[in-house]
Amino acid sequence: MTQPTLLPNPIPLDEIKEAQKRIKGKVNRIPLVRLYHDEFPGEIYLKLENLQPIGSFKLRGACNAMTIAGKERLTDGVYTASAGNMAQGVAWIAKAMNIPCTVIVPDHAPQTKLDAITRLGATYIKVPFEQWWQVLVTRVYEGMKGFFVHPVSDLAVIAGNGTIGLEILEDLPEVDAVIVPYGGGGLISGIASSINALKPGTKIYASETSTAAPLFSSLQEGSPQKINYIPSFIDGIGSAGILTEMWALVSSLVSASIVISPEEIAKAIKWLILRNRVIAEGAGGSSVAAALTGKAGHGKIVCVISGGNIDAEKIVKILNDQVP
């Protein structure tokens, strides 16, 4: 087992600003887009990370981490553990560097994301969810060579994610709250670190699905909790627990977790498609679903649309008012 590096709390603003310089020109700089909702009294803005080249924010952290590592540490290639989006981020950068890439994926990973991994020239190994989760915990997959990019609790990855927070404040300095889909905590802790450093008092909310909401339970109990994980079409977020090394960081930065049902998330995805012509995957749609509950207030709210990698047949079902 490789011990994780002790993470600073919060992530230093200088680290995030340096990451912004490293990834400039390699990652899309996407402006905020207003979402108009007839029944919501506040203002909702969308941070459309689904418009990144890989359809997800994960390109930011992967780019920063692999750039810092340098070619010498990447001689034997690179690997990660991901349901699909970090896989694509690492594979995208690996292809640009002309090095091999392998991804350990959980058995519920959607075909859209698996196809994308292959299309980018990487290979994947599908394992049961519990075995996949252990790779995140131990940071090792037996027999695998190469540089491991942790999708969540790597300082360089989190700093790369934090560049989203810098861009939000550049576009909407008066933001009141930001809602971030919660998977392992790498995205929300990066964004929260940068925003809290520059605009203290801004509320940072996590969005979780009711089928897998370990952060909500952990915040209630005041310590990391294990929960009953139920796989769903919302594959980009949710797990059976909180990574130990992430708890202190996340619990100190997040105002609360807003839990919404798969039905509410499906409705939000449909609204995004019909009103903004935006394709969001389950995780990406969860932030909008959370905003529409009103639990994040009714001021100027930014919803991070973390990704848009969703199977076409699931979109069809959602447009027909079904839950995939």
Q: Kindly report the backbone phi and psi dihedral angles of residue 237, in degrees, each rounded to the nearest multiple of 5, phi listed first.
A: -135, 170
Amino acid letter for position 302:
V
- 323: nearest Cα among 262, 248, 249: 262
- The larger pLDDT score, comparing residue 192 to residue 72, is at 192
For 226: left if phi > 0, alpha if psi spans -120 to 50, otherwise beta; the answer is: beta
Among 33-37, 155-159, 275-279, the minimum mean pLDDT is found in 33-37
| pLDDT at residue number 109 | 84
Of 70-84, 156-170, 189-203, 288-302, the one with minimum mean pLDDT is 70-84
| Structure-token pair, residue 239 | 């797990």
Sign of CA dihedral 205, 247, 190, 134: negative
Per-residue model confidence (pLDDT) at position 52: 96
- The pLDDT assigned to 212 comes to 95
pLDDT band at 40 (very low <50, low <70, confident <90, very high): confident
pLDDT given for residue 3 in this prediction = 53
Angle at 235 between CA 231 and CA 237, to 5 degrees: 105
Helical residues (DSSP H) of 152-185, grouped into ranges: 155-171
What pLDDT is stored for residue 174 in this prediction?
A: 98
Contacts of 125 by beta carbon, 8 Å cutoff, 6+ apart:
102, 103, 104, 105, 141
Once rounded to an integer, what is the mean pLDDT over residues 83-100?
91
Instruction: Look up residue 279 and give its two tokens.
Output: 């394709």
The kind and range of the H/E element at 179 are strand 177-181
pLDDT for 246: 94
C-beta separation of 181 from 213 below 8 A:
no
Spatial CB neighbours of 53, under 8 Å, sequence gap ≥ 6 = 28, 59, 92
On the question of pLDDT at 2 being above 60, the answer is: no
pLDDT of residue 18: 98
pLDDT confidence of residue 187 = 97
Give the C-alpha separation, 135 to 318, whole Å: 32
CB 232, CB 264: distance < 8 Å: no
Neighbours of 247 (CB within 10 A): 16
Q: Is the bond into 110 cis (omega within 30 degrees of 0)?
A: no
Q: What is the pLDDT of residues 177-234, one digit of tens each?
A: 999 999 999 999 999 999 999 999 999 999 999 999 999 999 999 999 999 999 999 9
Ordered by where they begin, the domains of the chain are 13-56+155-319 (3.40.50.1100), 59-148 (3.40.50.1100)
Please say if the pLDDT value at position 1 is more than 80. no
The verdict on pTM exceeding 0.85 is yes
* Residue 163: predicted pLDDT: 98
Average pLDDT over the chain reads: 94
- The pLDDT of 78-95, averaged and rounded, is 91
Residue appearing with tokens 């699909």? 84
**How many other CB atoms sit within 10 Å of the CB of residue 295?**
16
Residue 5, pLDDT > 80, answer: no
d(CA 45, CA 32): 6
Q: What per-residue confidence (pLDDT) applies to 108?
A: 83
Contacts of residue 8, defined as CB under 8 A and 6 or more positions apart, other chains included, come to 155
